[in-house]
Amino acid sequence: MKKLIIPILLILISGSLKAEKLESPSGNFVLTFAVDQGIPTYALDYKEKPVITESKLGLELKDAESLLSNFEVASVNRSTFDETWKPVWGEVSEIRNHYNEMAVNLNQTTSDRKLIVRFRLFDDGLGFRYEFPEQDSLIYFVIKEERTQFAMAGDHTAFWIPGDFDTQEYNYTESKLSEIRGVMTDAVTDNVSQQTFSPTGVQTALMMKTEDGLYINLHEAALVEYSCMHLNLDDENMIFESFLTPDAVGNKGYMQAPCHSPWRTVIASDKAADILMSHITLNLNEPCAYDDTSWITPVKYIGVWWEMITGKSTWAYTDLPSVKLGETDYSKTVPNKTHAANNEHVMEYIDFAAKHGFDAVLVEGWNEGWEDWFGKSKDYVFDFVTPYPDFDVKKLQSYAQSKGVRLMMHHETSGSVRNYERHMDQAYQFMVDNGYNAVKSGYVGNMIPRGETHYGQWLVNHYLYAIKKAGEYEIMVNAHEAVRPTGLCRTYPNLIGNESARGTEYEAFGGNDPDHTTILPFTRLIGGPMDYTPGIFETDISQLNPDNTSKVNTTIARQLALYVTMYSPLQMAADLPENYKKHLDAFQFIKDVPVDWDNTKVLEAEPGDYITYARKEKGTDNWFIGRTNDENARESTISFDFLPAKKKYIATIYSDRKDSHYRDNPKAYQIMKYLVDSKSKLSQYCAPGGGYAISLIEVDDTMSTKKMKKM
């Protein structure tokens, strides 16, 4: 027996199999870390169910020994952290940041290099990252690939979009993990702009559900000076592995110690609502970088935009290309009669915004250069300060100011990032001088420098540079086509909006799937708010442009609900004023709904099927409810027990009718009023592609409720 026992002990010692465990504050999550034969591994359980089975950690370096093996544990540091912080804007007025931490200090025996893997375990999931401390044996290094694994415990149902280094603008596919390869090969691969990795590559945030009802979400937080992470799936073993966005020559990241990676996040629960209410992404980011945030305010806006998206109007002043930026003699060109950004038309939008209480008017197509861009001039770039002849900056700014409305700037970079950086100070100063305090930036097209993509380290650095530079001028940023959010809005709350997903504009390009907005809160919105641009009432695009036969896959009631379910402190009423004037009774909800909240409840949720939110308006006792539905008719059943006891509310319900349907009868809606309190319950029909919206206004002494029906 002695001959057998001694070799086994030697193997255990040399393999460093002693497991280090970490529990979440509630004890529901248990993390296990070990070094197995020199290879760092981790696993995560939730209520004794496996979330992540044993998975490898490490990075492959270029022209150097990789940080994958030959490690031993030097020390383990543990700590607990608990704070409550107040976001500048958000879904709630306070956020608790409570976690147990374990920092594992590793030595690589073959190189004497040091690596720290830091784990933070919250009651809603896990965050971990790689840290490279200052050391003589590792200073400058290039990442060839990050090899972080996320091993799944089964063939889960996943809600995914294909891996792509330039866009997230896809409808989601719901399938088993084992089916991703087949779906990608059959239907998706040809449309992926940079599909240079395996046909099982997907983007984060990735949402999954196990057969026994566990919800799992994989993403990243605090993406700074690093490439955006995709996930490749080994569908024989059900193991995801990180795959970083490469640069023009194929490298994944240029690093200088001391430095660290972004956080890799795993959110899990047996309740779908807990995924939606997780604050891990925000909590893993640094506190607000600004001492004074008084200039950062939520915005509800309309815009000269949808008419160009549908093809009713144009961005360009003339069909003829410019000769040279800033030197074109427009007296020798023929103005385009459909150019939307003209003085008279913009003033109509300003009047509408002022009458209905909107904060701002976005105007696209105001500056020179759109002719060249649409003319596919290879060398053309915008300068962001030269208006077309029919757009009088000073006149419009003065008119907007007289109406109590702001104009919102638009900067389309056309993907020429260095050009934008060269003009940035001048462009932001131009905004300040002319009364603009918010900008929608766009990055449509292939990137310049050539070969770079939207989600590589170089562009990740640029997006943050633009936000910081805007902060110097007290300007809020709404970035479109940028890298997907990872919670940086906590640190830089002037990042007030992002697109970075398939938004409403695609309703004019063929339509979004009806279940799209029941998935986005579980995926794209895990990283931060989205400028989805809801509020489309005219669902037949041919009514705006006879040449466009697209249909908006929604009912009007669901368009109202999106203002609650698709959280953003920047919300647009995207349709044309004339379409709102036809349905002013429904438009009232868009006027009433706030864009900043004290509290949020998820009343119902199932990814791909339905979501029902209730949100309390910041600074009042009023609540608003939104419900979005997939392509199937459903009954929504909710309780109003979140309301304070002994208070009464007038509930105005904007809902589908029994004959509503996103394809056949999208404009059919009804509006009902009831008197409700905390004991009230509602059973409400939701049409295919439909939903409902409710305003709950606290009753005061000035309101008459005698004839109002009680619920």
Residue 232, domain CATH? 2.70.98.10
Q: Are residues 121 and 261 in the same domain?
A: yes
pLDDT of residue 14: 40
pLDDT, mean of residues 132-148: 97
The greatest distance separating any two alpha carbons of the chain, rounded to the nearest whole angstrom, comes to 100
**3-class secondary-structure state, position 104:** strand
Pick from 590, 613, 637: which residue ends a domain?
A: 590
Q: Are residue 214 and residue 353 in the same domain, yes or no?
A: no
Q: What is the pLDDT of residues 320-338, one digit of tens each?
A: 665 555 556 676 677 788 9
Instruction: Mark whether 16 and 151 lie in a shared domain.
Output: yes
Domain contains 134? yes
For residue 138, the enclosing domain spans 2-283
Q: In the chain, what are the helix, strand and coil shares in percent, each to the nearest 5?
A: 20, 35, 45
451 with 502, same domain?
yes
Q: Is residue 621 part of a domain?
A: no
Choosing from 549, 568, 590, the residue where a domain stops is 590
Q: Are residues 465 and 496 in the same domain?
A: yes
Mean pLDDT of the chain: 93
Please check whether residues 93 and 164 belong to one and the same domain.
yes
> Does residue 278 belong to any structural domain of this protein?
yes
Residues 325 and 405 in one domain: yes
pLDDT at 400: 98
pLDDT digits over 243-268, tens only? 999 999 999 999 999 999 999 999 99
For strand 29-36 and strand 39-46, is the pairing parallel, antiparallel, or unpaired?
antiparallel
Q: What is the pLDDT of residues 106-120, one digit of tens each?
A: 999 999 999 999 999
Task: Tell me, yes or no, whether 645 lies in a domain.
Answer: no
- Residue 662 resides in a domain: no
Say which CATH number the domain at 402 has: 3.20.20.70
For range 451-455, the mean pLDDT = 94
Q: Flag whether pLDDT at 375 surpasses 50.
A: yes
In a domain, 629, yes or no: no
Neighbouring C-alpha atoms within 13 Å toward the C-beta of 357: 9
pTM as predicted? 0.95
| Same domain for 235 and 336 | no
- Whether 11 and 154 map to the same domain: the answer is yes
**Is residue 393 scored above 50 in pLDDT?**
yes
For residue 477, pLDDT beyond 50: yes
What pLDDT is recorded for position 12? 38
Condensed to tens digits (0 to 9), the pLDDT of residues 170-226 reads: 999 999 999 999 888 765 555 555 445 667 899 999 999 999 999 999 999 999 999
Percent of the chain with pLDDT over 70: 93
pLDDT grade, residue 481 (50/70/90)? very high
In a domain, 364, yes or no: yes
Number of separate domains in the chain: 2
Give one word for 92, left, alpha or beta, with left for phi > 0 and alpha for psi -120 to 50: beta
Give the containing element (helix H, strand E) for 23: strand 20-23
**Per-residue pLDDT at 6 exceeds 50:** no
Domain stops at, among 561, 590, 619: 590
**Residue 666 falls inside a structural domain:** no
Confidence at residue 356, expressed as pLDDT on a 0 to 100 scale: 98
Please report the pLDDT score of residue 327 as a whole number: 58
Rounded Cα gap, residues 491 and 502, in angstroms: 25
Q: Please check whether residues 520 and 387 belong to one and the same domain.
A: yes
pLDDT at 603 over 90: yes
Beta bridge partners of 660: none
**pLDDT above 50: residue 7:** no
Residue 523 and residue 207 in contact, taking contact as beta carbons nearer than 8 Å:
yes
- State the alpha helices, DSSP H only, in 456-605: 457-472, 516-519, 556-565, 577-581, 584-592
**Judgement on whether residues 373 and 277 belong to the same structural domain of the protein:** no
My answer on whether 460 and 549 are in the same domain is yes
Q: Which residues are catalytic?
A: 505
